[in-house]
Chain A
């Protein structure tokens, strides 16, 4: 029977894609019954959203500095 620790490691490492049908089913059933592991799975989404929000602000930073125009000028000038 699969335990929380293994589920957490599988979710974190994204190893489910390569896992067999049975393992994936076990994880899905476990998640249906385990609130804490569901919360853990949601945290992965939240980490992703947080770093994407950081990414968006970094893209904004690039835009404010006119990064594309400057790089294009430098590359074209070669």
Chain B
């Protein structure tokens, strides 16, 4: 594994081995994350390519202060926003918060815990969660995918999305509760 400084120098020269290494390490995660965020196969592939191309074209701007991975996912985030032509504005009030509250009694004890047993026992939970991800607002979906699918660190995600740790916590809290609601209702009815 090359040191970042050396890798950047080689990428500047378009060294074939460095390029191949970069693709091997980052292409699939970028593609997977784009798919996880809701893009179709062709669009996800285009996005992965655009991110890597942009990275190569702007190597001078990458000063090595972040990990390359963080930088690449930052570019992905930017391009996703561009394509959607919207900022990720998280609502001050999300209906999921009230739904969550209603599961507790006034003293804060569980009244109606989430029941995911049927859903998680299903062999199709990967498919079920794919469908449930589609119901997440974009910012919640992106945080959840970056954290849980791509396993990025909290500070990385905050940098990529331009949010505080607290904001990120709210997004994860809402995302997880929405997924629970969705899986609970599908688990009961079957995963189709």
Contact = CB atoms under 8 A, between A and B. Distances in A.
Interface residues of A, number: 44
A43 B108 contact: no
A48 B129 CA distance: 10
A54 interface: yes
B188 interface: no
Contacts, number: 132
A47 interface: yes
Contacts of B32: 55, 58-59, 62
A76 B19 contact: yes
Nearest to A48: B148
B70 interface: no
B27 A68 contact: yes
Contacts of B110: 4, 36-37
Contacts of A29: none
A78 B35 CA distance: 26
Interface string A43-67: 1101110111111111101110101
Contacts of B9: none
A40 B110 CA distance: 10
Interface stretch (B76-84, B87-95, B176-184): B176-184
Main secondary structure of the interface of A (DSSP, over half): helix
Interface residues of B, number: 54
Nearest to A55: B149
Contacts of A58: 31-32, 35-36
Contacts of B129: 47, 50-51, 54
Contacts of A14: 154, 169, 172
Contacts of B48: 67, 71
A46 B116 contact: yes
B4 to A, nearest CB: 19
Interface string B104-122: 1001111001101000100
A44 B121 CA distance: 15
A17 B36 CA distance: 26
Given A36-B110, A61-B35, 17 more contacts: A4-B108, A13-B173, A14-B154, A43-B116, A43-B176, A47-B148, A47-B180, A50-B125, A51-B148, A54-B130, A54-B133, A62-B27, A63-B28, A65-B41, A70-B45, A71-B45, A78-B53
Q: Which 10 A-B pairs have the closest CB atoms?
A: A3-B108, A13-B169, A53-B126, A12-B173, A5-B108, A50-B129, A13-B173, A55-B149, A58-B32, A36-B110
